[in-house]
């Protein structure tokens, strides 16, 4: 079931208010996203975020989306086979009986949490595993002595998808005017070098849950100085039903006054029953939205 937030009437990326504004699926529709922020992205920024979504689907989630029958904007163009290479040539396996993979990026903590004044973090020390989806009937593959299939896993693409989701979620839940958002600058100016500063994993082991995805945020006190007293951290878990990892994004900072406005916004959200339960009323404030 789709859940709509109040319309923003402003592009949450570039601030444009004059254009006709489109809606933003916070988690892409192609990943079973069901929460929508209406009137929140201009044409240009909408193109940018759709491109991130498209590349992520190609480079990260190609086989799992097909095998688990995720939604597609163009269902008529959905492939019916996945391609493998064997000694005797190319093998086409039907989607209903195919191997697939899903990436598990184990990132470092966001650089911000390690040293907030140092910006030159990189992905060194991060690792990639993948979950293999097994075919229902492996006999089809037994006739080939060996076979391979290729799947790209691109860490910057993954991180960009995470910051896009985190920014949309924070804008919807907290109101874009109530915090100093960092993500638009990174996305609009393609500052890939800042991704390891704001994106990371949390040192926890995740067991599968019943949800397609899970989102929540926390607001923590911060001694950043100059009237900036809090930072906002969003946690994202895609493919939670498969045991997908939790990735976290630092989306920005806010002042004491900003936090007061955020509290009022959260109370209103609760009143409207737009989101799940508030687990803590004071810092860190955490709200879970699950599908």
Per CB under 5 A, residues contacting Zn ion are 11, 13-14, 16, 42, 45
Nearer to Zn ion, 6 or 16 (CB): 16
Q: Which residues of 15-29 are buried (b: 16+ CB within 10 A; e: fewer)?
A: eeeeeebbbbbbbbe
Distance from C-alpha of 91 to C-alpha of 155, rounded to nearest angstrom: 28
Q: Residue 14 or 278: which CB sits closer to Zn ion?
A: 14
Q: Which is nearer to Zn ion, 103 or 184 (CB)?
A: 184
Q: In whole angstroms, how close is the CB of 272 to Zn ion at the nearest point?
A: 26
Cα separation of 50 and 33, whole Å? 13
User: If residue 78 lies in a helix (H) or strand (E), which one and from where to where?
Assistant: none
Of 27 and 42, CB closest to Zn ion: 42
Q: Which two tokens stand for residue 253?
A: 């900072």
Q: Give residues with Cβ within 8 angstroms of 76, minimum separation 6.
A: none
CB of 215: closest distance to Zn ion in angstroms? 22
> Would you say 47 or 54 has its CB closer to Zn ion?
47
Dihedral of CA 26/27/28/29: which sign? negative
Pick the closest to residue 195 from 102, 106, 120 (CA basis).
120
Q: Which is nearer to Zn ion, 42 or 287 (CB)?
A: 42
Q: In angstroms, what is the minimal distance from the CB of 13 to Zn ion?
A: 4
- Reading the block at residue 106, the tokens are 């184990």
**Rounded Cα–Cα distance for residues 194 and 184 (Å):** 12
Q: Cα separation of 70 and 63, whole Å? A: 10
| Strand 35-41 versus strand 3-4 pairing type | parallel
CB of 188 to Zn ion, least distance (A): 8
In the bound complex, what is the minimum distance in angstroms from residue 46's beta carbon to Zn ion?
A: 8
Q: How far is the CB of 14 from Zn ion (least distance, A)?
A: 3
If the CB atoms of residues 40 and 254 are measured against Zn ion, the closer one turns out to be: 40
Closest CA to 184 of 199, 167, 198, 207: 167
- The nearest distance, CB 1 to Zn ion, in angstroms, is 28
């Amino acid at each position: 079931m789709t859940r709509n937030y109040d319309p923003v009437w402003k592009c949450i990326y570039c601030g444009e208010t004059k254009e006709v504004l489109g809606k933003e699926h916070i988690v892409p529709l192609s990943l079973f996203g069901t929460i929508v922020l209406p009137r929140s992205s201009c044409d240009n920024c909408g193109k940018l975020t759709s491109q991130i979504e498209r590349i992520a689907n190609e480079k990260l989630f190609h086989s799992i989306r097909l095998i688990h029958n995720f939604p597609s904007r163009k269902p008529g163009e959905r492939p019916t086979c996945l391609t493998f290479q064997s000694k005797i040539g190319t093998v086409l396996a039907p989607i209903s009986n195919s191997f697939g993979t899903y990436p598990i990026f184990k990132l470092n903590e966001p650089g911000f949490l390690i040293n907030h004044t140092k910006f030159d973090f990189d992905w060194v020390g991060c690792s990639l595993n993948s979950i293999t989806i097994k075919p229902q009937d492996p006999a089809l593959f037994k006739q080939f002595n060996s076979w391979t299939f290729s799947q790209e896993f691109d860490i910057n693409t993954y991180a960009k998808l995470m910051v896009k989701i985190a920014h949309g979620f924070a804008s919807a839940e907290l109101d874009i005017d109530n915090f100093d958002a960092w993500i638009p600058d990174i996305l609009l100016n393609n500052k890939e070098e800042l991704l390891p500063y704001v994106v990371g994993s949390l040192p926890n082991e995740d067991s599968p849950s019943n949800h397609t995805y899970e989102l929540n945020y926390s607001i923590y006190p911060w001694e950043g100085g100059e009237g900036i007293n809090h930072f906002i951290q969003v946690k994202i878990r895609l493919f939670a039903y498969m045991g997908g990892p939790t990735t976290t994004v630092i989306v920005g900072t806010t002042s004491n006054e900003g936090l007061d406005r955020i509290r009022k916004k959260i109370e209103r959200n609760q009143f409207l029953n737009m989101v799940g339960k508030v687990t803590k009323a004071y810092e860190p404030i955490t709200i879970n939205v699950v599908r």
